[in-house]
Each structure stands twice: as structure tokens, then as C-alpha cells.
Structure 1
Amino acid sequence: MEVSKIRERFKKYLLGHSSGNDQQVIDRWYQSFDDTVLPEMDEAEEARVKQEIWLGIQPQISVAKTFYLRPRRLIKIAAAVLLLAGAGAAWWMVHHPHVNPIYTTYTTRNGERIVLHLSDGSTIALNAGSTIRIPDDLSKTRKLELVDGEVFFDVHTNPNVPFIVESGPLRTTVLGTAFNIAAYKDVHTLSIGVMSGKVSVAGNGKNRQLLERDQELVYNKDNGAMKVIPVDESLPGWKEGRLIFNDVSFNDMAVLMEKNFGIVITTTEEHVRTTRYTTELPTGMDPQKAAQVLAAIHHLQVRSIDKHTVIYE
């Protein structure tokens, strides 16, 4: 039976206008609550529940039939009313699916890279150790959430449904273009580089920044500063199996080495921790060999302790 018809019958019952058959059915329904066993509640909890029920019912009362129910019976009836409300909410969600779009989460493991062909004609590539949430129905909304990691987007044009990527504090909006977003949770910078077309980037109350082809925005998570620089030609190199460091900190280097090679790099030496790292490593390389090459380029050494790779002078 439709929820609206059920509500109409209850309304007539409360106003004393029910037919004899409806009167008997609803009376028996109320009586059934006395046979239902509820969890035990202390006086304070019971008083709180009654107050919540009253606050929910009071604003909707205009004319009511006077009747008396024991408190615990009232609680049982309120539970049924909530069930009816839930049925109404379910009906609304079924007939209005665009209000709460359903998302699917895609995650790559350390060292894994995948390419997704979306239903709207767009293509996205996920770098190692990345997580992104994508709406199942892209005809209604194309708002994606880059939770962690790095993704390359090749977006199919649809002026009626803009393509939006939320990555932490920044929101990137496009109509049709190719761009790369690196938004690793544990790396202190976030970058957005445009290979073709234009994108609009906004966040943290700052003015929108329009990025054109061959421009890259670098956002500092520590102080919120933004700067626009020419796109590094090596930016999408990870798609070709290359891990490229360009003057990165020890912490950022360690995060990306773990994402790409699955190894945990540490150090106990301050000099090593303050060193800036610049190099290029094939992501198909043996993990320990990659660490050795990285260290050698910076005149450092490595040794393995338990499951950690320690870099030292």
C-alpha cells in the first residue's frame, strides 16, 4: 500500500472519522504493541525517548483525537511511525536518485597502475597507491573525489555536465581537457598540471585560478600558498613507468618510494633527512636496487634492517 494512503487512514483514525473496519484493524494494530518485548531502559533513558517523540510529534498536531497510552506502548507506536517515515524516504530516493548519487571507489596497490574508461567517454589513469571515488551515473553528475594519490584525466567534453575533481582543499572544474593531479595525503604539496585545454581551480576561500595548457599549479598544504609554473615535461612520466623526483624532501621521497616500490625508507641522520632528492627511476626496477641507485646519486649508502631500508652517509 502506498505510504500516502496509510498516512490518510491514520489521520482519519486520530480524528475519529475511520470506518468500522479501519477502526478495528488499527485498534488491533495498536494492541499488538503490548505483545512486543522492548529492551529494558532506566527512567532517565525512557524520559529522554518520550521527550524526543513528543518534540517530533508536537509541531504536526492541529486536531487530535484524545487517547491515553502507557509510555512503553507510546514508544512502540513511535517506532512504527518512524518505520513509515523510513518507507517514505526510501520511496523518495528511488524516484530521485540524482539527489544522492552512488559512488564506486577505485584503489591501486603500491606498485600497481590502472586505466579506467568511464561511461561518459573520459579516460583516467591511476598511479600507484591511489584512491578515487567516481559516480556510477555520469549523466547526472561528473564530480569525482581524488582521495589519495595521483591521477591523469583525459576528459570528454560535455558542456551540460561539467567535470569536477575534488582533491583535498582544491576543486578543479573542466569541460574537456587533459590534466594531471598529484594529491598524495602524506606529501606536503598538491599539484595540478594541464596538458591541453583549460581548468579552473578554487579552494580555501582564494580566488579562482585559471590554468591553461602547459601550466601547473603547485599548492603548499603547510601554508596554503599557491604558485603557477610551467608544466614540467616529465610530469606524466609515471604513465610510462618512470618515477621522477625533482628537488623533493626526504619525507616526500620516502612516501613516493613506498607507493611505487613498496619499500619503507628511513634514516637516523639529520643530514640525510634535510637532503633534497632529484633522480629518475624505472618503476619496474627491483625495489632494493632502486633504493641503492637513489642513495648512490646523492652519495649515500643503504642497508636493510628488518623490513626497513635505512639511508645513511
Structure 2
Amino acid sequence: MHIVTKFLVFVAAILAVLLSGLSIAYTSNAGRLRAAIQTERDAAAEARAVAMETNAAAQVERQSLEEARAALQAELASLKQTMAALQGDNAALLAENKRLELTTASYQARIDQFTAIIDAFAKLDEARSNELAALREKELKRAIREIELSDRINDLTGQIDVSTETNRRLQEDLVAIRQELDRARSGETTIAASGKGTLRAPIGFRGRVVSIDREASGSVLVSIDGGSTDGLGENMKLIIVRGSQFIATVVLTRVDLNESVGLVDFLGREGQVEVLPGDLVQPTVTDI
């Protein structure tokens, strides 16, 4: 036999031994392998079921996420629109703010102008007020001066009236004295009387008006605090003065011990002067 053939036979024998061993091993492990394969198949089926459930849950979650994304995209679009509107409003507000700033500056300029005008008017009013105060003070001084001059004129007028009345009374007394002298020379007996038939009061007499009474006929009667004890008598003529102002004359119509009543003669000045309680009563011939 050829060497090659022998070698091939030897190899075939070895392979046959190995194949038999593998057959025995395969036969002993076949049941176990089938159980493992079945277990793997069951695990694979369970895994497929879990994967299907997971896929279903993932699909639902994906759909939910898609919906959420759509909602978010819609909200984003709305926010973009709102932002665009707000940007427009902001631009409008900025423009309005700019306009208001310009208006405020204009108003401030006008306010400053008005303030300057008010200050000028205030200074002018102050100057006018000072001038008016000075004029009022001058007017007041002038009025006081006029009052003083008027009082002085009234005093002088009263003095003139008193002097006139005194002068007239002196002339009457002079005429009465001359008539008395003529009667004395002719042997007639009379009492000293004036041209109008009134008697002369005592030179030193001084009295005051106590009360005034106006009759229905318009005549004014006065009561004085002097009577027969002071040398007064009916038909005596006196004058009424207030200070240096001549008021009127009075002819006594009734004389008591300490009080007398007389008829007042204003000498045509009724309504211009009046007799008041406390006025001085004195003879017509006196130094005033």
C-alpha cells in the first residue's frame, strides 16, 4: 500500500474517532441545548412584548411631545406677536415720551417766562404799593393838616362870631348908655337896657348848659346852672360858647334861685350849630 494511502486511512480513522466523540457529546447535550434555546426564545418573545409595549408608550409619549411642541410653537408664535406688539407699543411710547419731553421743555420755558413776568409784575406792584403807601401817607398828612386847618378856621370863625356879637352888643350897650344918659339929663328914671330891651348880665358870671328843650314852634329853650343868687334876672342876654367857638345867644325867660331858662337865638345859623349840655354860658361883653 502506498504511503499516501496509509496516511489518508490514518487520518480518516482519527476523524472517525473525533466524529464519534462529537456525536456522543452532541447527543448528550442536545436536550439541554433545546431547553436553552426554548428559554432564549421565550425571553426573546417577552423582550419583544416589552419592546412593543415600550414602543407603544414611546409612541404615545412622542405624540404627546409632538402636541406639546405644537402648543409651544403656537405659544412661541403668540409670544412673538405679543413681543412685536409690545415693541410697537414701546416705540410709540418712546415717541410719545419724546413728544412729552419736548412739550415739557416748551411748558417749562413758558413757565419760566410767566415766572419772570410775575416777578416783574410783583416788583411793579411792590413799587406801586410803596408809592400808594407814600401817597396815602401824604394824603393822610394832608387830611390831618386840612382837619387842623378846618378846626383852626372853625375856632377863628367862632372867635369872629363871638367878637362880632360882642362888638354888636357893645354897640347896643353904647346906644343904651347914651339913651340912659339922655333920659337922665331929661329927668327920666329907667334901668340900664339895650336897644332891644334886654338887660346886661353880671360881667363875672359863668355857667353851663344843663338841658335843652325844643318846643313845637321850633324854638329852643335851654336850662343853665345859674339863677338869681348869681345876679341873673329875666330878660338878661348871654352868649353860649364851646371853647373859642360862638354857638348862639340866649335871653332868660325864667329865673329861679339856682337855675334859669332862656330862649336860644342862633342868629340865622340853625342847622349849622347846636347847643349841647356842658356848653359855657357867659355875658356878651367878655374877653374870649
TM-score by length of 1: 0.17
Bigger share in strand: 1
Greater RCO (Cα-Cα under 8 Å, separation 6 or more): 2
Query: Larger Cα Rg: Structure 1 or Structure 2?
Result: 2
Bigger share in helix: 2
